[in-house]
Structures are given as structure tokens and as C-alpha cells.
Amino acid sequence: MANNFPAPSALVIRGVLVGFSSVLLAGLVVDVITDSLPWPSLLAPVCYVAGLWFASEILVRLEKGSTFSDTIIAGLTKVGASLMLAGFLAILVAPALLHLLANGFTEMRGMTLDLELANLMLAVTGLVLILIARRGADLRAQLEGFV
């Protein structure tokens, strides 16, 4: 009989993820509703939560004994894409939307980028994860060619 129950490490990550994201996003949503925080500030955190969920799926596969399979490669690509998207949203999209909301969508001059080290690092980490997944897929195809 197959064990369909998720691995303990994945359950821990998913439990922390659900608890942390519900508290964080609930607080952010309350701030958005009370107008103390504009809604574009929610874009990047949603991508971070999605990336953590994809990471927990990778742990489920690894705990089940899966090797560097297509599902793990796809999971790494999803985590990398969500981190890159979150970095892009935090660096460019959220500041642009905040600027447009502040001036009533009348002009785009004077917008600044949010080039914080954390945003840049997360975007680059996402790119590296995507490149690792592609390299892993290439190596896996070469190994299968030998067998």
C-alpha cells in the first residue's frame, strides 16, 4: 500500500507557511483596507508564499525517494520563477503602481525603483534555481542516453 501522506519536513514547511502567511497576509490586508498600506505592496508577498508552497512540494517528492526527476526539475523551475517574479514585482511594478496611485494615473515621471539588496538577491536566486533546473534536466538526459 502506497504512503500518500506528505513527508514530515513538508508538513512542517506547509504548517509554518499557512500560519505565517495567514498572519502576514491578514495583517497586510487589514492595512490595505484601512489605507495605511497600498495594495501593490501585496504583490511580492503573494509570490513568496507561492514559492514556499512549491518548495514544500519538492520536499514531498524527495521524501518519497524520488531522484532528480521531472517533477523536481519542474518544482525548482516554479520556485525560481516565483522568486524572480516577486523580485521583479518588488523592484519595478509595485513602485510604479504606487507612484501612479499617488498622482491619480496622470503622469509617470519621477518614478523610482526599489533596488534593495533583498529584492535583488531574491530575483537572482530565482534565476539561479531556474538555471540549476535546466542544467539538471540536461545532465539527466545525458545520463539516460548512456543507459
pLDDT in tens, 82-140: 999 999 999 998 888 888 887 777 777 777 788 889 999 999 999 999 999 999 888 88
Q: Which of 147 and 92 is assigned the larger pLDDT?
A: 92
Residue 50: band (very low, low, confident or very high) from pLDDT cuts 50, 70, 90: confident
Q: Which residues contact 90 (CB under 8 A, 6 or more apart)?
A: 43, 44, 114, 116, 119, 122
pTM above 0.85, yes or no: no
What are the structural domain ranges in the chain?
A: 8-146
Q: Which three cell numbers stand for residue 85?
A: 517574479
Q: pLDDT at position 142, please?
A: 87
Highest mean pLDDT among 12-21, 34-43, 113-122: 113-122
Q: Is the pLDDT of residue 49 over 60?
A: yes
